[in-house]
Structure 1
Amino acid sequence: MTEEPTHPSANPIARSGAFHYRRRVRLPVSAAEAYAWHERPGAFARLTPWWEPVGVERATGGIADGAEVVLRVGRWPVRLRWELRHGPNEPGAVFVDRQVRGPFRYYRHEHAFADESGGSGCVLEDRIECGLPGGAVGQWLGGKILRRKFERLFRYRHAITRNDLSCRRRYVSCAAMKVLITGGTGLVGSALQPFLTTQGHEVAVLSRSGGDGRIEWDPEAGRLDATALEGIDAVVHLAGANVADGRWTAAKKKAILESRVQGTRLLMERLGALKQPPRVVVSASGMNFYGDTGDAVVTEDAPPGKGFLADVCRAWEEEAQAAERFGARLVRLRIGLVLSGEGGALAKMLPAFKTGAGGRLGSGQQWVSWVALDDLLGIILAALHDERLTGPVNAVTPHPVRNTEFTETLGEVLHRPAVVPVPAFALKLMFGEMAKEALLASLRLAPARLEAIGHEFAFPELAPALRHALGKDEE
């Protein structure tokens, strides 16, 4: 299809049979700041939910007038090329996406920002007008499908925009930093990159493969060029082998431990040798540091527990403490179960629960300490900026739940029963030691240090967090 005309007399809004969609959201910043957030690198990635099969083939000029983006939409074997051009815009107030070629007869999307009186924030309104192929039948049937699709998409996008800008407002007075990320291709690292760039930071990524502007490293071979790290202000260290990827063999346990110990040791050695080492290091750890704690409420002051994962976390944190020797403020994040439909433990649960074959694990009485992925990003941002955070920090929601409640809530969000329990003996038979420590252990963590600084969670309750992670509504 060709680009729709911009002359008012030819505007498709005036055409009969046009599809219209509008949705508004209040944002806690000015219209100018909300507009600027959309201008920064990473905004499109932040606004694209994991379930949408959209890839960027080419993009030039951000959202400036005349800038173009070419998308690939859909899944194989049906993938469509969609060419869009931005403009005409009103900087700080409105930017527009217009179809040049693509699946619609015409398409226009206005992102309009208007300040509220009193300077308390602004309102973003997304306005879409497009023509659907297929005549009257296409308009009737396609319109219903498209409206449901847009409702799901923009409910997610507006939540992301509102929450990210709340983080931006909280730390707007803090200086922009150059942040080094390890584990940048993992679930958390891949989300953290666009989150930080839209917050106004510059990001560098350590990668085993290098290329694409990344810094190459090989922890096993002890290879990392320290000169490439000069100018780094802060580090977020996330790299480590997956702990819940099947049964633990001796080789698997060795890889889990050494990927953390060797990688952290090499990184700290290179950072410590810099002329100007980073001012802050945020190093990942896990809630399993505490072992199986039963019904006890566990704060950061609790001692390490027993078991393989507790030993791994303790060794990981001990290596990270080298950061304190070169003067960095070190924050050790003991991360709970991260909620995301894109990956991690929740994504592995979805196939069974979607078919109605999900249920509690073991007795279901074990406590699950969890955190929404977007809240974890906010915690990392707080760790980078707030000097009151140092040492261990429990990166979990204030509201842990028992496994029975977790699985029942997941079933409710998916509108499926959760009545097929998996006995503990079956889990141990399938997964051995991993089942005992990662699936059946009880961990009731409290984020005491986050609460002490008044940290705000976007998703403190489980059901809303799951709905956001999975793109589900309340119906």
Structure 2
Amino acid sequence: MNILISGGSGFLGSAFSNEIMSRYRAQNKALHITWLTRDSSQAHPNDIEMMTYDELTSSDKSFEVVLNLAGAGIADSRWSDERKEQLMASRIKPTESLLAFIKRTSIKPKLLVSGSAIGWYGTQGDKPLTESSGFETDFAHRLCNEWEQLALTATEYGVPMAIVRTGVVIHPEGGMLGKLLTPFKMGVGGQLGDGQQIMSWISREDWVGAAIFIIEQHLTDDASSQTTHENTLQTTNDTTAVVYNLTAPNPVTNHTFTKTLGAWLHRPTFFALPNFLLKLMFGEMSTLLVDGQKVLPQALQSAGYEFQQPTLKQALEGQK
């Protein structure tokens, strides 16, 4: 199998690459992975090929799967107008490059997996949200929706696609957990706001496992049996487009997350940051911290995926 990945060197793309290569080697299956990059000198594993976006414009290579993960971290800095433009451009421009390649190439990919986030649903408190749920309009929704709608253009070229709406990914090498480890290890970690906001999370191991599961399911002859009307998206033709929530089946409150992380690290969690201070510190971006989302992986579980780390305690203990 040939796989092309934008964002391949990132927090998720690198873990995905390592795991699928390990699995295919163990099964004696052929696999070739190419990472898209803007810097041809970027460090990378020896068994990964690098291709620049400029090279992609004239490449005659064919790929069975395209995995579109490029995008700046939404929680990395305060949402100024300039930062919002950066967040949008970092998703739109790589997706446009991939779509131009897909349109031009004579041998179309069998599947495009395109990233998104549970921010698509907007802030809806503790209301259970599945792939068929509606949304509330805010910046996070607009960011995810523009990214998704652009990616759906691939279906106009006859390429089936799966959109993966990702929750908070748990792993100490990066993401939210990576940022929290230092203050929690110092004993100054604590809950955010009143701690009752729901956090929809997924371990990085299960994110990778779910992504591989989705790819393998959709490349089988019975791929159509893995879709339901609840997670099927409307397209301009008969080409399949589906959405999956990549979240664990057991979301937790921020209070529970705080206590579970403190217990795992054997550190106290007495401190708390009130809502007004979070809003003062982070502005509009504070919605990611103080407003909850209860997003459930209905489509993923209906398709038969079995979580390896379905609880937060298991996800944290799996890192030891």
TM-score in terms of structure 1 length? 0.59
Matched with 1:209 is: 39
- Choose from 215, 225, 240 the match for 2:71: 240
**1:355-405 Cα deviation digits (max 9, x unpaired):** 111111111111000000010001110121112255110000110011110
- 1:197 shift after superposition: 1.4
Matched with 2:259 is: 408
Matched with 1:440 is: 290
Higher relative contact order (Cα pairs below 8 Å, separated by 6+ residues): 2
Separation in 2 of the partners of 1:451 and 1:271? 30
Matched with 1:358 is: 189
Separation in 1 of the partners of 2:95 and 2:296? 26
Is 1:346 paired with 2:177?
yes
Determine helix, strand or coil for the equivalent of 1:348: helix
Q: Which amino acid aligns with 2:289?
A: L
Gaps of 5+ in 1: 1-176, 218-222
- Choose from 61, 76, 87 the match for 1:230: 61
- Choose from 104, 110, 135 the match for 1:279: 110
Q: Which amino acid aligns with 2:50?
A: R
Instruction: Report if aligned partners of 2:57, 2:100 keep a CA contact under 8 Å in 1.
Output: no
Q: Which amino acid aligns with 2:211?
A: I
**1:208-233 Cα deviation digits (max 9, x unpaired):** 1024630002xxxxx45344362211
- Choose from 160, 163, 174 the match for 1:332: 163
Separation in 1 of the partners of 2:289 and 2:81? 19
Separation in 1 of the partners of 2:71 and 2:143? 11
Instruction: Report if aligned partners of 2:57, 2:97 keep a CA contact under 8 Å in 1.
Output: no
Q: Which amino acid aligns with 2:256?
A: E
**1:179-208 Cα deviation digits (max 9, x unpaired):** 111101210011111112122222111011
Q: Which amino acid aligns with 1:214?
A: M
Return the structure number with greater strand share. Answer: 1
**1:113-171 Cα deviation digits (max 9, x unpaired):** xxxxxxxxxxxxxxxxxxxxxxxxxxxxxxxxxxxxxxxxxxxxxxxxxxxxxxxxxxx
| CA 229–251 in structure 1, closer or farther in 2 if over 3 Å, else same | farther
- Choose from 179, 195, 200 the match for 2:3: 179
Determine helix, strand or coil for the equivalent of 1:206: strand
Matched with 2:237 is: none
Instruction: Report if aligned partners of 2:245, 2:298 keep a CA contact under 8 Å in 1.
Output: yes
Determine helix, strand or coil for the equivalent of 2:318: helix
Matched with 1:426 is: 277
Separation in 2 of the partners of 1:271 and 1:291? 30
Instruction: Report if aligned partners of 1:226, 1:271 keep a CA contact under 8 Å in 2.
Output: no
Instruction: Report if aligned partners of 2:195, 2:253 keep a CA contact under 8 Å in 1.
Output: yes
Q: Which moved more, 1:208-217 or 1:363-372?
A: 208-217
* 1:101-250 aligned within 5 A: 177-200=1-24, 201-211=31-41, 213-217=49-53, 223-228=54-59, 230-250=61-81
Matched with 2:100 is: 269
- 1:254 shift after superposition: 0.3
Give the superposed CA RMSD: 1.3
- 1:244 shift after superposition: 1.0
Instruction: Report if aligned partners of 1:226, 1:274 keep a CA contact under 8 Å in 2.
Output: no
Instruction: Report if aligned partners of 1:229, 1:271 keep a CA contact under 8 Å in 2.
Output: no
Instruction: Report if aligned partners of 1:206, 1:216 keep a CA contact under 8 Å in 2.
Output: yes
